[in-house]
Structure 1
Amino acid sequence: MIIHDAICEKILVSLRGVLAHRLSRQGLSQHRISSLLHVSQPMVNKLLKKPMEEYLRQLHEVGLEREVVEYYVEILCSLAFRAPRDRFELASYQVVNTLALKAVCSKYKEIFTSCSEGLPVDPDVEYYRVALLRITSIEGLHRVIPEVGSNLVYAPRPPASVYEIIGLTGRITRTLNGVAVTGEPMYGGSRHLSRLLLTVSTLNPAKRVGFNTRYEEVYVEALRDLGLKLAVSGPHEDVEGFWKRVEMAAREKPDAIADLGGKGLEPVVYIFTTDFNELERILVSLVKRNP
């Protein structure tokens, strides 16, 4: 824990610097930034005087790649503008500790378990963790996972943006022995699937959970046999076309969208449910169709 705490402190200082720059560029006043970061306004001014590249270099020195840092910073910046203060603060704790674990455990893998204890938790994220374990424990689940991997997203309340939807920062993938989960649950953790859930739930607020599976005719048939309303989208010429057609499909208020894919897009089935229990029942049915 001493190593973890020390790296947490180093990361916190540099992360504040990156956040101060990003929030300032997006129009936030130094007074507002100081309140969010729990530092004085003169300290914010001091943070802004040092180039952001210097903070990114310092984070790289402790083992954090620029892409990883920028990914989490973008989530925090979005929460700063759109989410309640307590949501931003919980996410900040989570980000600092997640980055510290990544840095520490790249060198000291044997202490991974001990350094992950005692972190502040969000009850909605913890609820998601329990559901994720249930879903990924379904026997044979690997059969329905697409090549690009799956993700599980959850909106504790009707979302106004993707940053109010919890998802994995990584994904669920197939392995020789079943499935593997990478990444951490976080608000805005899955941009693609979270955006899909946001699109669907805007028109049908009862939909709070999303998951994606392989596209197979046998799965489409199984979903219809379960009495689910299915919409079809694609094939697509590009990503912009994908979103236009998905938005059209969402107007049908479907329980699932069978997407035919296109250039650079694997065909997949997106499933949307009111809760995790319903999703679990659907996935068990799909697994049984492909023994």
Structure 2
Amino acid sequence: NLKRSLEEILKLKNIGKVIPEVGSNLGMAIHHPRDLKDIAAVEGRITKVNEKEVRAGCIGFGASEHVARTILTVMRYDEKIRSAMNIKFSEEILDICKELSFSISYFDRKDEPEGVKTMEWGISEGIKNFGNFGKVPEIIFDRGGIGKEPMIRIFGGSSDDVAEKARKILVNI
């Protein structure tokens, strides 16, 4: 249940420490999604008020093109991975992900070809860079680019799975 997962995330102590400047989102696909409207997400994103307080909109289908493209791309590789959340990138957070033994990959925005959709290309690159025969890692990050904030993306089979991974990261910050 996406609403329950969002409520759990919003209750986490110091959640603001992992919310990027552009905001965060949590999304979940229905089984066998066909397009962006088959992905539920937070309308208007999860935004940071301060280190301890965040605000979030309501849940709605088609609410976030960004997280929807991310999930649809991942599902081309593994239809069981139906949820994603973006959080702030930092070396500290990346190190915590490694300590938690999350499977991790990356993409480099400077390698992005012109005229492609960034998330579709970037997530596909992250999966290719993972080098595990199309298996989807739990974490795909990038270090940003000109005008692009660095980001960590958490993937899981459900929004509860993603929320639990976010909780594990936060308790280690």
Deviation at 1:224, TM superposition (A): 2.1
Q: Select the structure of larger CA radius of gyration.
A: 1
* Higher relative contact order, structure no. (Cα contacts within 8 Å, ≥ 6 residues apart): 2
SS in 2 for 1:228: coil
Percent of residue pairs bearing the same amino acid type: 25
Q: Tell me if the contact between 2:27 and 2:67 (Cα under 8 Å) persists in the aligned partners.
A: yes
More strand per residue: 2
> Structure 1: which 5+ runs fail to align?
1-126
Match for residue 223 of structure 1?
A: 97
Match for residue 247 of structure 1?
A: 124
Deviation at 1:140, TM superposition (A): 1.3
Match for residue 178 of structure 1?
A: 53
Deviation at 1:241, TM superposition (A): 7.2
Q: Tell me if the contact between 2:6 and 2:163 (Cα under 8 Å) persists in the aligned partners.
A: no
> Structure 2: which 5+ runs fail to align?
131-135
SS in 2 for 1:167: strand
Aligned in 2, Cα 1:152/1:245: closer, same or farther, shift over 3 Å? Answer: closer
Deviation at 1:258, TM superposition (A): 0.7
Aligned length: 163
Match for residue 16 of structure 2?
A: 142
CA distance in 2, matches of 1:221, 1:212: 16
Which amino acid is the alignment partner of residue 249 of structure 1?
Answer: G
Q: Equivalences for 1:115-134 in 2 at 5 Å?
A: 127-134=1-8
Deviation at 1:220, TM superposition (A): 1.4
Deviation at 1:213, TM superposition (A): 0.6
CA distance in 2, matches of 1:233, 1:153: 21
Which amino acid is the alignment partner of residue 245 of structure 1?
Answer: G
List, as ranges, runs of 4+ consecutive aligned residues in structure 1 with deviation greater than 6 Å: none
Q: Tell me if the contact between 2:109 and 2:122 (Cα under 8 Å) persists in the aligned partners.
A: no
Residue in structure 1 matching 2:166, options 267, 270, 283: 283
Q: Equivalences for 1:1-291 in 2 at 5 Å?
A: 127-176=1-50, 177-182=52-57, 184-236=58-110, 240=116, 242-243=118-119, 244-251=121-128, 252=130, 253-290=136-173
More helix per residue: 1
Residue by residue, what CA displacement relative to the aligned partner does 1:82-140 show, whole Å, maximum 9, x if unpaired? xxxxxxxxxxxxxxxxxxxxxxxxxxxxxxxxxxxxxxxxxxxxx32222111211111
Match for residue 34 of structure 1?
A: none
Aligned in 2, Cα 1:128/1:284: closer, same or farther, shift over 3 Å? Answer: closer
Aligned in 2, Cα 1:272/1:239: closer, same or farther, shift over 3 Å? Answer: farther
